[in-house]
Chains A and B, each alone.
Chain A
């Protein structure tokens, strides 16, 4: 029975790719890659998400047709201590990098075996560098905080030298990758999120719930008691970070996000659409709602 369902799904997917103008040879090859993908337990398709399936298949198909590059983006955290009051920022890999390496060791050989052009960018989220409270707790200065993040990058490059020696595979901090553009983008989306919460009661409830649920986490991060307003600001901040990354990724047709599960993935799944309001630091996007497949770690 299960096999029949899989077969039917495969036929539908091939049909979908044909309908999007890909030739039969490419469609069948994509199908084979996806089957191999599933066999290797890469978690994008485990959730039976039809739209992610289709989008990822289309990305693979366009890549095999020479139109695109599959671009994996994996944001990871610096080596944060469990509690900012207890220790400074570590120099090791932290908790979020090792699972990404495991996934890379499944995905990259698959891409290479099937000759799918790809890039894999691990982005170290030194995004909290603008929070003086966090920097003061975790490092001796702004430069020291950045230096510690650099050491995590170096440690990662050493531990996974087999991955980072490949062309198109890199680990780089946000501050370097976006060269000063990250925070203007984040602040822009913070403003949009604040406006949306006034208009959209469901979004407001989502943020309130998230802020309440994560109070303990924020208190550990900021090293102090947080007021509801502090928590709300942090919730908006983190949501805006996901949104900024998603919007930025949409400039590439072949973007796939690799991320641990988070309520903030809603910002990727259900992006806000900008009308006239546009910020100079944002890239030009053809389709602000194009689906980004997510590999959930």
Chain B
């Protein structure tokens, strides 16, 4: 696999309500959504025979995948790589940003949750999260044949996790990438694998 395209799933009610839609929270996408023309144009630059669509096993990722499969006329089997799920939230899963702020007054934006470690509440540590993402990338690299392009229908945090793992070696720099701005729903981010 040379190229990995990461796409954030379509919008969910959690997204609208600014809830922490963590990896342990399984919600559907909102009905009646369409992919933006520029997103489809990006994907159609590639030959569909070379694409392998990957989802995370969570409803929002599966439902986006199925829509994408239909639009692309994709006839191969998709692949579930559960390592690409969002950061696990434990007791924080599903909380609104305002509720998170009450627990962690230092939070100024949702991205800053990546700077918080709360193992006592079941929040997955950033190190564990990044190790899991790295494992997922290794899995995809192993299973997806060389000329193919993996389209990973993932989550905001996991897309940043993929970026962090593929572009940086140092743990601290990787953490900084996680705190960067969040990809929008159905945003496509392209990565060249095997290069750092």
CB of B69 closer than 8 Å to a CB of A: yes
Binding site for B on A (CB under 8 A): 129-133, 135-136, 140-143, 175, 179-180, 182-184, 187-188, 190-191, 194, 229, 233, 280-281
Of residues 46 to 103 in B, which have CB atoms within 8 Å of A's CB atoms? Answer: 52, 54, 57, 59, 62-63, 65-66, 69-70, 74-82
Residue of B nearest to A142 (CB): B143
Q: Secondary structure of the B side of the interface?
A: mixed
CB of B188 closer than 8 Å to a CB of A: no
- The answer to whether B70 and A133 touch across the interface, beta carbons within 8 angstroms, is no
CB of B178 closer than 8 Å to a CB of A: no
- The answer to whether A129 and B77 touch across the interface, beta carbons within 8 angstroms, is yes
A-B pairs with the 6 shortest C-beta distances? A180-B75, A129-B77, A132-B81, A184-B66, A187-B62, A132-B139
Interface centre among A130, A131, A133 (most CB of B within 10 A): A130
Residue of B nearest to A184 (CB): B66
Tell me how many residue pairs across A and B have CB atoms closer than 8 Å.
Answer: 65
> Which of A130, A136, A183, A187 is in CB contact (< 8 Å) with B139?
A136
Contacts of A182 in B (CB 8 A): 77
Contacts of A188 in B (CB 8 A): 66
- The answer to whether A141 and B70 touch across the interface, beta carbons within 8 angstroms, is no
Subset of 16 A-B contacts with CB under 8 Å: A131-B80, A132-B54, A136-B142, A141-B143, A143-B145, A180-B76, A183-B78, A187-B62, A187-B63, A187-B65, A187-B66, A191-B59, A191-B62, A191-B63, A229-B24, A233-B57
Residue of B nearest to A188 (CB): B66
Q: With the chains together, A41 CA to B63 CA distance in Å?
A: 45
Contacts of A233 in B (CB 8 A): 57
Q: With the chains together, A129 CA to B66 CA distance in Å?
A: 16
> Which of A132, A175, A281 is in CB contact (< 8 Å) with B80?
A132
CB of B144 closer than 8 Å to a CB of A: yes
Q: With the chains together, A143 CA to B81 CA distance in Å?
A: 16
- The answer to whether A191 and B145 touch across the interface, beta carbons within 8 angstroms, is no
- The answer to whether B145 and A179 touch across the interface, beta carbons within 8 angstroms, is no
- The answer to whether A132 and B66 touch across the interface, beta carbons within 8 angstroms, is no
